[in-house]
Structure 1
Protein backbone atom coordinates (compact mmCIF):
# COMPACT_ATOMS: atom_id res chain seq x y z
CA UNK A 1 0.00 0.00 0.00
CA UNK A 2 1.45 3.40 -0.98
CA UNK A 3 1.12 6.61 0.96
CA UNK A 4 -0.88 9.51 -0.45
CA UNK A 5 1.33 12.51 -1.38
CA UNK A 6 1.20 15.46 0.99
CA UNK A 7 -0.74 18.52 -0.18
CA UNK A 8 0.98 21.87 -0.01
CA UNK A 9 -2.22 23.85 -0.62
CA UNK A 10 -5.81 23.08 0.29
CA UNK A 11 -7.94 22.03 -2.69
CA UNK A 12 -10.36 24.58 -4.12
CA UNK A 13 -13.95 23.72 -3.35
CA UNK A 14 -16.72 24.94 -5.62
CA UNK A 15 -19.94 26.32 -4.18
CA UNK A 16 -18.56 26.68 -0.67
CA UNK A 17 -20.64 29.79 0.06
CA UNK A 18 -17.88 32.40 -0.18
CA UNK A 19 -16.24 34.29 -3.03
CA UNK A 20 -13.94 32.18 -5.18
CA UNK A 21 -10.74 33.40 -6.86
CA UNK A 22 -11.68 34.48 -10.38
CA UNK A 23 -9.51 35.73 -13.23
CA UNK A 24 -11.28 37.90 -15.80
CA UNK A 25 -10.11 36.35 -19.06
CA UNK A 26 -11.77 39.06 -21.14
CA UNK A 27 -9.81 41.82 -19.46
CA UNK A 28 -6.76 41.46 -21.69
CA UNK A 29 -8.47 40.07 -24.78
CA UNK A 30 -8.21 42.44 -27.78
CA UNK A 31 -11.57 43.93 -28.72
CA UNK A 32 -13.24 42.95 -25.44
CA UNK A 33 -15.27 45.65 -23.72
CA UNK A 34 -13.10 47.38 -21.15
CA UNK A 35 -14.25 48.44 -17.71
CA UNK A 36 -12.71 50.72 -15.13
CA UNK A 37 -10.77 49.26 -12.26
CA UNK A 38 -12.62 46.46 -10.55
CA UNK A 39 -15.85 47.09 -12.50
CA UNK A 40 -15.99 45.37 -15.86
CA UNK A 41 -18.46 46.43 -18.56
CA UNK A 42 -21.61 44.38 -18.25
CA UNK A 43 -24.13 43.63 -20.96
CA UNK A 44 -27.71 44.81 -20.57
CA UNK A 45 -30.62 42.54 -21.53
CA UNK A 46 -30.71 44.37 -24.88
CA UNK A 47 -27.14 43.25 -25.57
CA UNK A 48 -25.40 46.62 -25.37
CA UNK A 49 -22.60 47.20 -22.91
CA UNK A 50 -23.29 49.49 -19.98
CA UNK A 51 -21.27 52.69 -20.11
CA UNK A 52 -19.20 53.54 -17.03
CA UNK A 53 -19.76 56.95 -15.48
CA UNK A 54 -17.54 59.58 -17.04
CA UNK A 55 -15.56 60.97 -14.11
CA UNK A 56 -13.17 62.95 -16.27
CA UNK A 57 -10.10 61.10 -14.94
CA UNK A 58 -8.33 61.27 -18.27
CA UNK A 59 -4.77 60.18 -18.85
CA UNK A 60 -3.69 60.34 -15.20
CA UNK A 61 -6.53 57.99 -14.23
CA UNK A 62 -5.61 55.53 -17.00
CA UNK A 63 -1.97 55.62 -15.89
CA UNK A 64 -2.99 54.92 -12.28
CA UNK A 65 -5.20 52.02 -13.40
CA UNK A 66 -2.34 50.57 -15.48
CA UNK A 67 -0.04 50.92 -12.46
CA UNK A 68 -2.63 49.16 -10.29
CA UNK A 69 -2.87 46.32 -12.82
CA UNK A 70 0.90 45.87 -12.83
CA UNK A 71 0.99 45.76 -9.03
CA UNK A 72 -1.86 43.23 -8.98
CA UNK A 73 0.04 41.14 -11.53
CA UNK A 74 3.05 41.06 -9.21
CA UNK A 75 0.79 39.86 -6.38
CA UNK A 76 -0.79 37.21 -8.61
CA UNK A 77 2.71 35.88 -9.32
CA UNK A 78 2.97 34.95 -5.64
CA UNK A 79 -0.59 33.54 -5.51
CA UNK A 80 -1.99 36.62 -3.74
CA UNK A 81 -4.48 39.28 -4.83
CA UNK A 82 -5.23 42.78 -3.64
CA UNK A 83 -8.94 41.97 -3.92
CA UNK A 84 -8.46 39.87 -0.77
CA UNK A 85 -9.15 42.19 2.20
CA UNK A 86 -6.27 40.80 4.28
CA UNK A 87 -3.77 41.18 1.44
CA UNK A 88 -5.01 44.71 0.73
CA UNK A 89 -4.69 45.60 4.42
CA UNK A 90 -1.13 44.26 4.46
CA UNK A 91 -0.31 46.27 1.33
CA UNK A 92 -1.69 49.45 2.92
CA UNK A 93 0.19 48.79 6.18
CA UNK A 94 3.43 48.41 4.23
CA UNK A 95 2.75 51.82 2.68
CA UNK A 96 2.22 53.26 6.19
CA UNK A 97 5.60 51.88 7.29
CA UNK A 98 7.31 53.21 4.18
CA UNK A 99 5.74 56.65 4.66
CA UNK A 100 7.00 56.74 8.26
CA UNK A 101 10.43 55.75 6.98
CA UNK A 102 10.35 58.71 4.59
CA UNK A 103 9.29 61.03 7.42
CA UNK A 104 12.24 59.77 9.45
CA UNK A 105 14.57 60.36 6.51
CA UNK A 106 13.21 63.89 6.25
CA UNK A 107 13.67 64.52 9.99
CA UNK A 108 17.25 63.25 9.70
CA UNK A 109 18.03 65.52 6.76
CA UNK A 110 18.38 62.69 4.24
CA UNK A 111 15.63 64.11 2.02
CA UNK A 112 14.34 67.68 1.77
CA UNK A 113 10.79 69.07 1.93
CA UNK A 114 10.23 68.84 -1.85
CA UNK A 115 11.44 65.24 -2.02
CA UNK A 116 9.23 64.25 0.92
CA UNK A 117 6.23 65.89 -0.75
CA UNK A 118 6.85 64.10 -4.06
CA UNK A 119 7.44 60.70 -2.46
CA UNK A 120 4.42 60.92 -0.16
CA UNK A 121 2.38 61.90 -3.24
CA UNK A 122 3.43 58.63 -4.86
CA UNK A 123 2.40 56.75 -1.74
CA UNK A 124 -1.01 58.47 -1.84
CA UNK A 125 -1.43 57.16 -5.39
CA UNK A 126 -0.43 53.68 -4.28
CA UNK A 127 -3.12 53.77 -1.58
CA UNK A 128 -5.72 53.81 -4.38
CA UNK A 129 -4.47 50.55 -5.90
CA UNK A 130 -6.66 48.08 -3.94
CA UNK A 131 -9.79 50.06 -4.94
CA UNK A 132 -8.82 49.98 -8.62
CA UNK A 133 -8.41 46.22 -8.93
Structure 2
Protein backbone atom coordinates (compact mmCIF):
# COMPACT_ATOMS: atom_id res chain seq x y z
CA UNK A 1 0.00 0.00 0.00
CA UNK A 2 1.50 3.41 -0.92
CA UNK A 3 2.50 5.50 2.06
CA UNK A 4 2.95 2.50 4.31
CA UNK A 5 6.10 0.77 5.47
CA UNK A 6 6.50 -2.89 4.69
CA UNK A 7 7.15 -5.41 7.42
CA UNK A 8 5.22 -6.65 10.40
CA UNK A 9 4.23 -3.28 11.85
CA UNK A 10 2.86 -1.46 8.75
CA UNK A 11 3.37 2.03 10.19
CA UNK A 12 2.27 5.16 8.38
CA UNK A 13 5.20 7.01 6.85
CA UNK A 14 5.80 10.01 4.64
CA UNK A 15 7.51 9.28 1.35
CA UNK A 16 10.72 11.30 1.73
CA UNK A 17 11.85 10.67 -1.83
CA UNK A 18 8.99 12.82 -3.13
CA UNK A 19 9.37 15.49 -0.44
CA UNK A 20 13.14 15.78 -0.06
CA UNK A 21 14.64 18.91 -1.62
CA UNK A 22 18.18 18.92 -2.86
CA UNK A 23 20.75 18.61 -0.11
CA UNK A 24 21.49 22.07 1.28
CA UNK A 25 24.99 23.41 0.91
CA UNK A 26 26.35 26.35 2.87
CA UNK A 27 25.66 28.58 -0.14
CA UNK A 28 22.07 27.40 -0.64
CA UNK A 29 21.36 27.48 3.09
CA UNK A 30 22.46 31.12 3.20
CA UNK A 31 20.41 32.03 0.13
CA UNK A 32 17.28 30.25 1.35
CA UNK A 33 16.27 32.77 4.01
CA UNK A 34 15.31 36.38 3.32
CA UNK A 35 17.42 39.20 4.70
CA UNK A 36 16.39 40.87 7.93
CA UNK A 37 13.76 43.52 7.20
CA UNK A 38 14.21 47.13 8.29
CA UNK A 39 13.09 47.30 11.92
CA UNK A 40 13.19 51.12 12.07
CA UNK A 41 9.95 51.57 10.13
CA UNK A 42 8.05 52.83 13.17
CA UNK A 43 5.23 51.55 15.38
CA UNK A 44 3.39 49.86 12.51
CA UNK A 45 6.47 47.78 11.67
CA UNK A 46 6.22 44.01 11.78
CA UNK A 47 7.57 42.80 15.17
CA UNK A 48 8.74 39.51 13.62
CA UNK A 49 12.20 40.73 12.52
CA UNK A 50 13.12 41.80 16.06
CA UNK A 51 11.72 38.57 17.49
CA UNK A 52 13.61 36.53 14.89
CA UNK A 53 16.84 38.35 15.73
CA UNK A 54 16.29 37.65 19.42
CA UNK A 55 15.68 33.99 18.60
CA UNK A 56 18.81 33.90 16.41
CA UNK A 57 20.88 35.26 19.30
CA UNK A 58 19.43 32.61 21.63
CA UNK A 59 20.11 29.79 19.16
CA UNK A 60 23.65 31.10 18.57
CA UNK A 61 24.24 31.06 22.35
CA UNK A 62 23.28 27.37 22.40
CA UNK A 63 25.81 26.66 19.67
CA UNK A 64 28.54 28.79 21.28
CA UNK A 65 28.10 26.84 24.53
CA UNK A 66 29.17 23.80 22.50
CA UNK A 67 32.11 25.57 20.85
CA UNK A 68 30.32 26.15 17.53
CA UNK A 69 28.75 29.09 15.71
CA UNK A 70 26.03 29.47 13.13
CA UNK A 71 28.26 31.92 11.27
CA UNK A 72 30.39 28.94 10.19
CA UNK A 73 29.05 27.80 6.77
CA UNK A 74 29.32 24.08 7.59
CA UNK A 75 27.53 24.52 10.92
CA UNK A 76 24.85 26.65 9.25
CA UNK A 77 24.36 23.91 6.64
CA UNK A 78 23.97 21.24 9.32
CA UNK A 79 21.56 23.53 11.18
CA UNK A 80 19.46 24.00 8.01
CA UNK A 81 19.31 20.23 7.62
CA UNK A 82 18.12 19.80 11.22
CA UNK A 83 15.42 22.44 10.75
CA UNK A 84 14.33 20.67 7.55
CA UNK A 85 14.04 17.40 9.50
CA UNK A 86 11.87 19.04 12.14
CA UNK A 87 9.63 20.48 9.40
CA UNK A 88 9.26 16.97 7.94
CA UNK A 89 8.23 15.74 11.39
CA UNK A 90 5.59 18.47 11.61
CA UNK A 91 4.37 17.66 8.10
CA UNK A 92 4.00 14.03 9.16
CA UNK A 93 2.09 14.98 12.31
CA UNK A 94 -0.33 17.04 10.22
CA UNK A 95 -0.71 14.27 7.62
CA UNK A 96 -1.57 11.77 10.37
CA UNK A 97 -4.05 14.14 12.00
CA UNK A 98 -1.93 14.53 15.15
CA UNK A 99 -2.12 18.33 14.99
CA UNK A 100 -4.76 20.77 13.86
CA UNK A 101 -4.10 23.28 11.11
CA UNK A 102 -3.73 26.28 13.44
CA UNK A 103 -1.11 24.52 15.56
CA UNK A 104 0.73 23.29 12.48
CA UNK A 105 0.78 26.81 11.03
CA UNK A 106 2.05 28.31 14.30
CA UNK A 107 4.82 25.73 14.71
CA UNK A 108 5.86 25.98 11.06
CA UNK A 109 6.03 29.75 11.46
CA UNK A 110 8.33 29.35 14.44
CA UNK A 111 10.57 27.09 12.38
CA UNK A 112 10.67 29.69 9.64
CA UNK A 113 11.99 32.16 12.18
CA UNK A 114 14.57 29.65 13.39
CA UNK A 115 15.59 28.81 9.81
CA UNK A 116 16.66 32.46 9.35
CA UNK A 117 18.99 32.46 12.37
CA UNK A 118 22.33 32.01 10.56
CA UNK A 119 21.58 34.89 8.18
CA UNK A 120 20.61 37.26 11.00
CA UNK A 121 23.90 36.96 12.87
Q: Do both share a fold (TM > 0.5)?
A: yes
Could you state the TM-score of these two structures normalised by the residue count of structure 2? 0.61
Moved over 6 A (4+): none
- Write the deviation string for residues 78-106 of structure 1: whole angstroms up to 9, x where unpaired: 00000000100111110100000011111
1:109 aligns with 2:61: no
Specify every segment of 5 or more residues in structure 2 that has no aligned partner in the other structure, as ranges. Answer: 1-35
Could you state the TM-score of these two structures normalised by the residue count of structure 1? 0.56
Match of 1:66 among 15, 33, 54: 54
Structure with higher helix content: 2
- Once the two structures are TM-superposed, the CA of residue 67 in structure 1 deviates from its matched residue by 1.3
Q: Which has the larger Rg?
A: 1
Specify every segment of 5 or more residues in structure 1 that has no aligned partner in the other structure, as ranges. Answer: 1-36, 38-52
1:122 aligns with 2:110: yes
Match of 1:79 among 58, 67, 92: 67
Superposed CA RMSD: 1.9
1:89 aligns with 2:77: yes
Structure 2 counterparts to residues 27-38 of structure 1, below 5 A: none
Greater RCO structure (CA 8 Å; 6+ sep): 2
Aligned length: 82
